[in-house]
């Protein structure tokens, strides 16, 4: 049987997409298939889907991966998803805010099964221990993330996933096109966001998605971003927290020379900052967007 479309499901369950949750459902089947294909899924894979909505992408993931755990914030959609996937035991749904839970904990067998039956699951009020524990369960498998992210939490979700105690091995995410272009930018057009993502992962744009592929239609175009997560950060030998303190200081005052923005951001003496920049081989008059990740690392090391 042909699976129901987003429009069929909206009519059937009398739903109105919530603007407050950034709900723009992808309705174009060709783009759904390409997103799933970009994740290179096999039956051995475990997938964490963020924001399954009405499950149209979940169908593609479930057909290719061995296990799918989908996290949905909108409690209206949980019973709908349970009904739609009742005959697919490799799919589970969790009612939770992805920003408030440890991603790997959602995938550990003792966290996801046995809450309300052995597949589907959830209420934030359920007496499930350690759902927000920073340490993932030893049973947490390697996993991939696939998500159609609400635009307003894109940066926060990416940071949450990449900085998790057990990050995914790969993430394929739909984001605003402009944001995707910022993330993959190179020196000369770098931003705090691009440095933050590329520190942990190799980023590339897989495809562009027009506004007309969604319902409701957003005001901007989107893009699918693939993040191949590095086994370790690209810059080694420096504490990530200090590294990003220096980066945030550098980007803290746009259009200012690096020596001035770093001085203001870190509260260090101007002479010390200028000497550090020169020691790292960086012209103090350069601007933050021109530095490479390795140059930020060299600067962080000498200023430390």
Q: Is 180 left (phi over 0), alpha (psi -120 to 50) or beta?
A: alpha
Q: Using 50, 70 and 90 to split pLDDT, how confident is the model at 156? A: very high
Q: What is the pLDDT of residues 44-96, one digit of tens each?
A: 999 999 999 999 999 999 999 999 999 999 988 999 999 999 999 999 999 98
Residue 298 CA to residue 244 CA, distance in Å, equals 12
pLDDT for residue 198: 98
Greatest CA separation found in the chain? 72
pLDDT bracket for residue 106 (50, 70, 90): confident
CB 170 within 8 A of CB 39: yes
SS3 207: strand
CA atoms within 13 A on the CB side of 18: 12
How much is the pLDDT for 1?
60
Q: What's the pLDDT at 122?
A: 39
Residue (of 58, 67, 147, 69) closest to 104 by Cα position: 69
Percent of the chain with pLDDT over 90: 69
Q: For the chain, list the domains and their CATH numbers.
A: 6-229 (3.40.50.150), 240-303 (1.10.8.100)
Residue 257 has pLDDT above 80, yes or no: yes
The 10s digit of each residue's pLDDT in 134-151 is 444 445 789 999 999 888
Evaluate if residue 188 carries a pLDDT over 90. Answer: yes
């Amino acid at each position: 049987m042909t699976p129901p479309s987003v429009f069929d499901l909206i009519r059937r369950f009398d739903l109105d997409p919530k603007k407050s949750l950034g709900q723009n459902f992808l309705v174009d089947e060709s783009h759904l298939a390409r997103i799933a294909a970009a994740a290179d899924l096999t039956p051995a894979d475990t997938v964490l889907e963020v924001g399954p909505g009405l499950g149209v992408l979940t169908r593609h993931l479930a057909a290719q991966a061995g296990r799918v755990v989908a996290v949905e914030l909108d409690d209206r959609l949980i019973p709908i998803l349970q009904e739609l996937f009742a005959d697919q035991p490799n799919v589970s749904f969790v009612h939770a805010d992805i920003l408030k839970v440890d991603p790997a904990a959602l995938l550990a067998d003792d966290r996801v099964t046995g809450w309300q039956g052995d597949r589907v699951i959830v209420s934030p009020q359920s007496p499930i221990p350690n759902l927000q524990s920073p340490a993932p369960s030893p049973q947490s498998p390697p996993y991939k993330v696939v998500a159609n992210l609400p635009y307003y939490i894109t940066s926060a979700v990416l940071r949450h996933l990449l900085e998790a105690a057990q990050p995914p091995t790969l993430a394929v995410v739909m984001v605003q096109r402009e944001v995707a272009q910022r993330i993959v930018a190179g020196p000369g057009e770098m931003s705090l966001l691009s440095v933050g993502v590329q520190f942990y992962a190799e980023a590339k744009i897989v495809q562009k998605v027009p506004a007309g592929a969604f319902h409701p239609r957003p005001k901007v175009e989107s893009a699918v971003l693939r993040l191949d997560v590095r086994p370790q950060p690209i810059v080694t030998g420096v504490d990530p927290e200090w590294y990003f303190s220096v980066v945030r200081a550098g980007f803290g005052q746009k259009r200012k020379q690096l020596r001035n923005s770093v001085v203001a951001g870190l509260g260090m003496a101007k002479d010390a900052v200028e000497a550090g920049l020169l020691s790292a081989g960086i012209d103090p008059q350069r601007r933050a967007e021109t530095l490479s990740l390795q140059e930020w690392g060299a600067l962080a090391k000498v200023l430390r």
